[in-house]
Amino acid sequence: CGLKAVGQALDELVKLKPVPKRTVVHALAKAISSDGKVTVREAELFRAIVDSLDCPVPPLLPGQPLL
């Protein structure tokens, strides 16, 4: 999967209505925390994606729940 495909996917996801968009954000949060830890890289990617979906989240702090 290249960056072009990621961009195209985000272009489609941003068109979602709020409830399905929230489902996507929750699924992303669950995916990056599935191993019980969230790396800086995962957190930054998560924030970039949700920001691009117009669903900003507060800064992620160590030990803080994602959502």
Q: What is the pLDDT of residues 53-63, one digit of tens each?
A: 999 888 777 77
Would you state the pLDDT for residue 59? 77
Model pTM?
Answer: 0.80
Would you state the pLDDT for residue 67? 67
Residue 57 makes CB contacts below 8 A (sequence gap 6+) with 25, 46, 47, 50, 66, 67
The helix (H) or strand (E) run that includes residue 39 is none
Q: Which residue intervals of 1-67 are DSSP H helices?
A: 3-13, 18-32, 40-52
Cα separation, 42 vs 50, whole angstroms: 12
